[in-house]
Structure 1
Amino acid sequence: MIVHKIKEKQRQNVEHFIIKHWGSDEMVTSSGVFNCSELDGFIVFNDKDEIRGLITYIVQNRVCEIISLDSLDEEKGIGSALLKAVEHEVKRTCNKIKIITTNDNMKALGFYQKRGYRLTQIIKDAVTEARKHKPEIPLVGEYGIPLLDELELEKALVLITLLKEEDKAALYQFEVENRDYFEKMVPGRGDDYYHYETFCKSHRALLQEQAEQRSYFYLVKDGAGDIIGRVNLVDVDDDGVGGVGYRMASSVAGRGLATLAMKLLIDEAKILPNVRALEAKTTTNHIASQKVLERNGFIRMGVSEETYVNAAGEEWPFALFRRELEV
């Protein structure tokens, strides 16, 4: 099976396909009104160059939204292949993918949830509202269910995974590639750290500390499984208070992924039996890091007497933050 990007010369065929299977080229949801034949997407053809599968999507504010997905051949993997094509296409530019479907579409609910999508909200009477713009939307959908509401599902294109032995080669490459970028903001680790044998020794020490449940080291990965950052919970004391920190690759700076990674770490911390509060610090001039913490519910507690002197000789104190975890 070959999945093709929609080309301009195929727009008319796409329009005919959408009209045939949806009654109109126009798709109306709570997100807006879309002409599917004008959107980006992917196609699967059969050996007669007939469209057997089609997916269309839009990207807004680093969120990809699937607008339509059709597969005419059941159990052939067409729908999965089309969805994967979109996920791969937008994984470097989007933080998540969302899908809106109708309350009757049990097949779609099963399809997306099996592929890592989570229900995020029910939009009551959204189909009723859409019907005002597009009266041809039927009153009753599949299985005789009244068509009334929309269901929204999302899949984050970022995940965190606990550090493992087999991560060392990829993690070493990540650290080497981002060394100069990191050392502009935080103290360097010294040349010796970047010798592979030394790095492997350090890696084993982190795994041992993790096994003893004193610290938890996570890798931040994109939708393709590539390492794009690290986020850690370290030095959990007898009172259940641990320190958190993160570092994200230069290639993903400014995309809001640090905020999302920290949220995922907090979700993990909530289910750890020995953690009840998190503390963090960042230099007072590092506004972006302070925003990451504040967006995740950290409260600024004050400023430390400890300072950091950067490579330019500038000296900055640390802002201290704390977040209690819900019981």
Structure 2
Amino acid sequence: MQSSKDTHPLTLELLSIDDAEQLLAFETENKDWFDQFIPPRESDFYSLQGVTEHIQEFLLDYQCKQLVPFLIKNAQKQIVGRMNFTSINAKKGTAHVGYRVGKAFTSQGVAKRALALAKSELQEQGMKRLFAYAEQSNIASQRVLTSSGFRSIRVVDDFAELHGRSISCIEFSCQLS
């Protein structure tokens, strides 16, 4: 899937074992950035073996139709972010979306453009409704969702724990068809 509306085209590519080294570099480079917003990964993730095992697990879940793991890449085929669709319910046509964009690529519309690509693709595959969660203080993520057609549904208290404290998130939903 490719976005060509702008001078900085993006593609969504299914995660692949061939991406292991580049994904390790991306995740390592952005570790401190991501750890501010989401619970940190285990330390053994940050090795070629750890990332390879992560990819293998995600691809197994993909084969079982439980997950769609995308890499967001720029025109130079550099990973600039990730977008995963989880909790897929084919009967209901629903899924949850989560995304992360590398620090060097924030404020460039990456998440919004990638989400537009993904929504179009998922609608073609029969998805009817997407859900997403954004931490209450993560205004940037909330803007991505609302500008992409998502509406806030409710606040979910104690959604997760981050750095020893409970965080609450806003649940969003978007009707695709």
Q: TM-score, normalised by structure 1?
A: 0.50
Tell me the distance in 2 between the aligned counterparts of 1:219 and 1:280.
18
Tell me the distance in 2 between the aligned counterparts of 1:315 and 1:305.
8
Q: Which of 112, 124, 127 is the aligned partner of 1:259? A: 112
- Is there any run of 5+ residues in structure 2 with no aligned partner, and where? none
User: Match of 1:201?
Assistant: 53
Tell me the distance in 1 between the aligned counterparts of 2:86 and 2:108.
25
Query: What pairs with 1:238-249 in structure 2 (closer than 5 Å)?
Result: 238-249=91-102
Q: Which amino acid aligns with 2:162?
A: N
How many equivalent pairs are there? 172
Residue-by-residue CA offset, 1:32-55 (whole Å, 9 max, x unaligned): xxxxxxxxxxxxxxxxxxxxxxxx
User: Match of 1:324?
Assistant: 175
Q: Which amino acid aligns with 2:167?
A: W
User: Match of 1:36?
Assistant: none
Q: Which sits farther off after the overlay, 218-227 or 196-205?
A: 196-205
User: Match of 1:10?
Assistant: none
Q: Which amino acid aligns with 2:9?
A: L
The answer to whether the Cα contact below 8 Å between 1:285 and 1:316 also exists between their aligned partners in 2 is: no
Q: TM-score, normalised by structure 2?
A: 0.90
Shift of 1:307: 3.5
Tell me the distance in 2 between the aligned counterparts of 1:271 and 1:168.
29
Say which SS state the counterpart of residue 131 (structure 2) adopts. strand
Say which SS state the counterpart of residue 239 (structure 1) adopts. coil
Q: Which amino acid aligns with 1:272?
A: Q
Q: Which amino acid aligns with 1:242?
A: A
Query: What pairs with 1:90-101 in structure 2 (closer than 5 Å)?
Result: 96-97=6-7
User: Match of 2:26?
Assistant: 174
Shift of 1:296: 0.6
The answer to whether the Cα contact below 8 Å between 2:93 and 2:128 also exists between their aligned partners in 1 is: yes
Greater C-alpha Rg: 1
* Aligned residues: CA RMSD: 1.7
Q: Which sits farther off after the overlay, 172-181 or 300-309?
A: 300-309
User: Match of 1:135?
Assistant: none
Give percent identity, aligned residues only.
26
Shift of 1:243: 0.6
Query: What pairs with 1:129-148 in structure 2 (closer than 5 Å)?
Result: none
- Is there any run of 5+ residues in structure 1 with no aligned partner, and where? 1-94, 98-155
- The ranges of structure 1 where at least 4 consecutive aligned residues each deviate by more than 4 angstroms after the TM superposition are none
User: Match of 1:268?
Assistant: 121
Tell me the distance in 1 between the aligned counterparts of 2:20 and 2:128.
30
